[in-house]
């Protein structure tokens, strides 16, 4: 108690010491300044809205990934999981449209199935990791391949397309706005707030950090490690299904190229945000900034022709490394007394 | 007991004689090797190849076609060895995964005396294949630019969405730019959208925020074009004579051209059925009285409402 009070006091007096936690925010602000300098249209309302909406997919998935990584796990299957859930959702909605019509019922059935699939796929990852005693990296590498080939199989190698009559009903979920913000952004905000409360204000969140710091100690402290870890994968699955629900109405299709590399983008967003890859410490706020940074980089690269298209990957790599370095570098920490 | 033995002997004898006649028939065996389809265009190619195999086998009872797809170059090299040693093929139709690693394996098949047909991706050593069948990437770019010139005038602005950075993409893009030169049409910028709907959508959104005046879009590919159209509709900039040109010949795009869509008025074919064409020509080598060896470069046909029906295969996955 006294420790945290002390910390807060230091923060209030000397906010500049907080550069570690401010790292992602500083990186994002710098990026925005660069974007605006390159082209003032960067700051146009339309572009900002596009940016936020685009960030929603990776952002929502990354909130789930924050829990998994904080408790010392990793989930490589999220991109493939999103693709297969999108594919199955489309198949189900196309099949029930004759029975229930092209109305809200059909869309709700599709969304319901998405949530069930997400929870189930997440639970499978968690169960195999905890009860199966297989490393999370291997389990999710395996499920990544399984989900990816399943969506290719369902689509017969091609693309699954949502029935045109349903698109009219479902389309607003991606394209419509509510109080000036597109619906995907609202979903992102709600997921972020719930995630923040869950990680920072509940026993579950503290257990995640404890397990990530030292699983053995957590177990001796009477934490049900297997259950908590399984829950983190279930949360990840739920986040993937929410992201899929807002992804499908965008183009109304899913194929084997859907969600490729989303797992790495989500993990990158989490780490840029300040969560530690080996677990024990997680930050939802940072994760959200991380997702915004990743989307902004791509957006800025589309706004300029200064850099050869072939070097896009180089720029992204450099900015990611610098953004993490901003918070991991010593930054005069050596001067602080360590107790 | 005696009866059982007789029966068994009869059955075995029957099977042996049957297989003996099968061997005696001496079928012409044609092996077809190509990469496992991982994207829609390749799935379409697979579908057309399977159909061609059924059609040719029904037409010529003494032709036996063996389709094999492989997930990576080394698997394809092994598949080629098996086609020679196990199936003892008389002809090989191959769409190589990559030119370099498959040149030697194909050369080995040729040494066995088989007729070699190479499809789409050339080998790194000339003179191995008897027959070469390929699409025409530069022509796809040139034809698209030629259409742009008929619709646009001096001073009009277009944006270009490119594919995955590869030789295919560069050939298409360079030919497009060369044809456009001197027309006065401005290419505002070009970015890679990786032959992918989502990337097409995002790149086009950014182009729309960045450039207030765009008259037309060259998307190079039907998947990218779908993303582009979604972005145009979202921004409400799909009117005013705006048009998008894709490419490849996706069935949904061809259907909408047949229905008279003005946003995507034409499509440029990069035929997913090219493997089927190659199989037809290979069979003709054994069946036709005319010579077939040589190089066949398929046209980048412009698909318009008038001829769209001929390229529309509703059952194909692409």
Token pair belonging to A243: 């992201």
At A196, the pLDDT band (50, 70, 90 cuts) reads: very high
Tell me the two tokens of residue A323. 């953004």
Looking from the CA of A217 toward its CB, the CA atoms found within 13 Å total 10
Of A44, A253, A305, nearest to B209 by CB-CB distance is: A44
Q: Name the residue with higher pLDDT: A4 or A329.
A: A329
Question: Could you tell me if A255 lies within 8 Å of chain B, comparing CB atoms?
Answer: yes
Q: Which residue has the higher pLDDT, A197 or A164?
A: A197
In the beta sheet, which residues pair with residue B267? B303
Q: Cβ–Cβ of A50/B206 closer than 8 Å?
A: yes
Instruction: Answer yes or no: do B201 and A250 touch at CB < 8 A.
Output: yes
pLDDT above 80: residue A3: no
Q: For A152, which of B38, B44, B208 is closest by C-beta distance?
A: B38
Burial (CB count <10 Å: 0-12, 13-18, 19+), residue A277: exposed
- Biggest CA pair distance of chain A: 70
Share of residues in chain A with pLDDT > 70 (%): 91
> Can you read off the two tokens belonging to residue A10?
């230091």
Read out DSSP for B202-260?
A: HHHHHHHHH-S---EEE-SSHHHHHHHHHHHHHHT-S-TT-EEE--B--HHHHHHHHTT
Do the chains contact at A310 and B165, CB–CB below 8 Å? Answer: yes
Burial of residue A309, with CB atoms counted within 10 A of its CB: 0-12 exposed, 13-18 middle, 19 or more buried: middle
Q: What is the pLDDT of residue B17?
A: 47
Q: Which residue of A has its CA nearest to B203?
A: A302
**Would you state the structure tokens that stand for residue A47, as one six-digit string?**
């572009």
**Yes or no, beta carbons of A309 and B162 under 8 Å apart:** yes
Contact state of A302 with B210 under an 8 Å Cβ cutoff: yes
- Please state which of the ranges B34-38, B199-203, B216-220 shows the lowest mean pLDDT: B34-38
- Read off the pLDDT band of A85 (50, 70, 90): very high
Token pair 């199936």: residue: B87
Shortest CB distance from B210 goes to which of A39, A175, A257?
A39
| B46 contact residues in A (CB cutoff 8 A) | 157
The per-residue pLDDT for range A14-64, each reduced to its tens digit, is 445 566 778 888 889 999 999 999 999 999 999 999 999 999 999 999 999
- Identify the top-confidence range among A191-200, B125-134, B160-169: A191-200
Percent pLDDT > 90 in chain B is 78
Q: What is the reported pLDDT for B9?
A: 56
Q: What is the mean pLDDT of residues B189-205?
A: 94
pLDDT, mean of residues B161-178: 92
Q: Supply the pLDDT for residue B20.
A: 44
Residues in a beta bridge with B33: B68, B94
Distance CA(A125)–CA(A143), nearest Å, equals: 8
Asked whether residue B3 carries a pLDDT value surpassing 60, the answer given is no
Gap from B141 CA to chain A (nearest CA, Å): 19
Q: What is the pLDDT of residues B217-244, one digit of tens each?
A: 999 999 999 999 999 999 999 988 999 9
Q: What is the mean pLDDT of residues A324-335?
A: 67
Give residue B262's region: left, alpha or beta (phi > 0; psi -120 to 50). alpha
| Cα–Cα distance for residue pair B169/B171, rounded to 1 Å | 6
**pLDDT band, very low/low/confident/very high, at A309 (cuts 50, 70, 90):** confident
Tell me which residue of B276, B272, B281 sits closest to B91, measured CA to CA.
Answer: B281
Q: With 50 as the cut, is the pLDDT of residue A338 above it?
A: no
Lowest pLDDT segment from A146-150, A168-172, B8-12, B244-248: B8-12
Supply the pLDDT for residue A1.
Answer: 40
Beta-carbon count within 10 A of A145 CB: 13
Q: Which residue of B has its CA nearest to A160?
A: B317
- Rounded average pLDDT over B143-172: 93
Residues 282-301 of A with CB under 8 A from B: 298-299
Put simply, the answer to whether A50 touches B205 (Cβ < 8 Å) is: yes
The per-residue DSSP string of B151-209 comes to H--TT-EEEEEE-SSSHHHHHHHHHHHHHHTTS--EEEEEEE-TT-HHHHHHHHHHHHH
Nearest-by-CA chain A residue for B233: A175
Going by their DSSP bridges, the two strands B28-35 and A177-178 should be labelled as: unpaired
Q: Is the pLDDT of residue B1 over 80?
A: no
A51 contacts A292 by C-beta, under 8 angstroms: yes
């Amino acid at each position: 108690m006294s420790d945290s009070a002390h910390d807060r006091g230091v923060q209030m007096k000397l906010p500049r010491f907080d550069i570690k936690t401010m790292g992602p925010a500083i990186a994002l602000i710098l990026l925005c300044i660069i974007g605006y300098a390159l082209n003032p249209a960067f700051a146009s309302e339309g572009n900002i809205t596009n940016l936020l909406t685009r960030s929603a997919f990776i952002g929502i998935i990354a909130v789930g990934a924050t829990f998994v990584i904080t408790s010392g796990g990793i989930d490589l299957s999220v991109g493939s999981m999103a693709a297969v859930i999108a594919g199955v959702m489309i198949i189900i909605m196309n099949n029930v449209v004759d029975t229930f019509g092209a109305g809200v019922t059909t869309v709700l059935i599709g969304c319901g199935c998405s949530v069930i699939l997400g929870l189930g796929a997440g639970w499978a990852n968690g169960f195999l990791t905890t009860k199966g005693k297989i490393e999370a990296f291997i389990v999710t590498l395996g499920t990544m391949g399984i989900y990816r080939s399943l969506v290719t199989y369902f689509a017969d190698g091609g693309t699954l397309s949502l029935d045109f009559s349903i698109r009219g009903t479902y389309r607003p979920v991606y394209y419509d706005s509510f109080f000036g913000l597109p619906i995907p952004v609202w979903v992102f905000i709600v997921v972020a707030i719930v995630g923040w409360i869950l990680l920072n204000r509940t026993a579950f969140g503290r257990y995640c950090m404890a397990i990530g710091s030292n699983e053995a100690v957590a177990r001796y402290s009477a934490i049900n490690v297997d259950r908590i870890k399984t829950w983190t994968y279930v949360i990840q699955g739920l986040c993937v299904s929410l992201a899929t629900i807002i992804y499908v109405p965008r183009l109304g299709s899913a194929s084997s190229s859907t969600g490729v590399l989303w797992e790495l983008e989500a993990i990158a967003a989490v780490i840029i945000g300040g969560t530690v890859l080996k677990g024990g410490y997680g930050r939802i706020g940072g994760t959200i900034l991380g997702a915004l940074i990743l989307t902004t980089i791509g957006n800025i690269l589309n706004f300029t022709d200064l850099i050869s298209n072939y070097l896009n990957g180089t720029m992204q790599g450099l900015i990611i490394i610098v953004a993490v370095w901003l918070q991991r570098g010593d930054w005069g920490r050596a001067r602080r007394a360590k107790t | 007991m005696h009866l059982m033995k007789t029966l068994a002997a009869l059955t075995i004898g029957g099977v042996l004689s049957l297989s003996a006649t099968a061997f005696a028939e001496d079928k012409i065996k044609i092996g077809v090797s190509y990469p496992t389809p991982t994207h829609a265009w390749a799935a379409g190619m697979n579908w057309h190849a399977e159909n061609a195999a059924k059609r040719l086998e029904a037409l010529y009872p003494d032709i036996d076609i063996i389709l094999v797809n492989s997930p990576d170059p080394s698997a394809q090299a092994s598949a080629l060895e098996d086609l020679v040693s196990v199936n003892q093929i008389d002809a090989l139709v191959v769409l190589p995964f990559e030119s370099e690693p498959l040149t030697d394996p194909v050369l080995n098949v040729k040494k066995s005396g088989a007729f070699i047909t190479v499809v789409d991706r050339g080998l790194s050593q000339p003179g191995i294949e008897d027959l070469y069948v390929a699409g025409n990437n530069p022509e796809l770019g040139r034809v698209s630019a030629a259409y742009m010139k008929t619709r646009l005038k001096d001073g009009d602005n277009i944006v270009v969405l490119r594919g995955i950075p590869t030789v295919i993409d560069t050939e298409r893009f360079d030919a497009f730019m060369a044809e456009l030169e001197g027309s006065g049409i401005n290419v505002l910028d070009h970015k890679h959208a990786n032959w992918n709907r989502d990337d097409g959508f995002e790149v086009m959104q950014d182009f729309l925020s960045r450039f207030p005046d765009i008259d037309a879009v060259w998307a190079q590919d039907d998947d990218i074009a779908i993303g582009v159209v979604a972005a145009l509709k979202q921004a409400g900039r799909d009117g005013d004579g705006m048009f998008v040109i894709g490419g490849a010949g996706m069935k949904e795009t061809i259907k909408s051209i047949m229905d008279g869509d003005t946003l995507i008025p034409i499509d440029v074919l990069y035929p997913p059925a090219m493997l089927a064409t190659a199989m037809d020509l290979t069979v003709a080598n054994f069946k036709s009285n005319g010579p077939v060896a040589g190089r066949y470069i398929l046209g980048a046909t412009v698909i318009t409402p008038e001829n769209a029906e001929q390229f529309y295969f509703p059952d194909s996955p692409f």
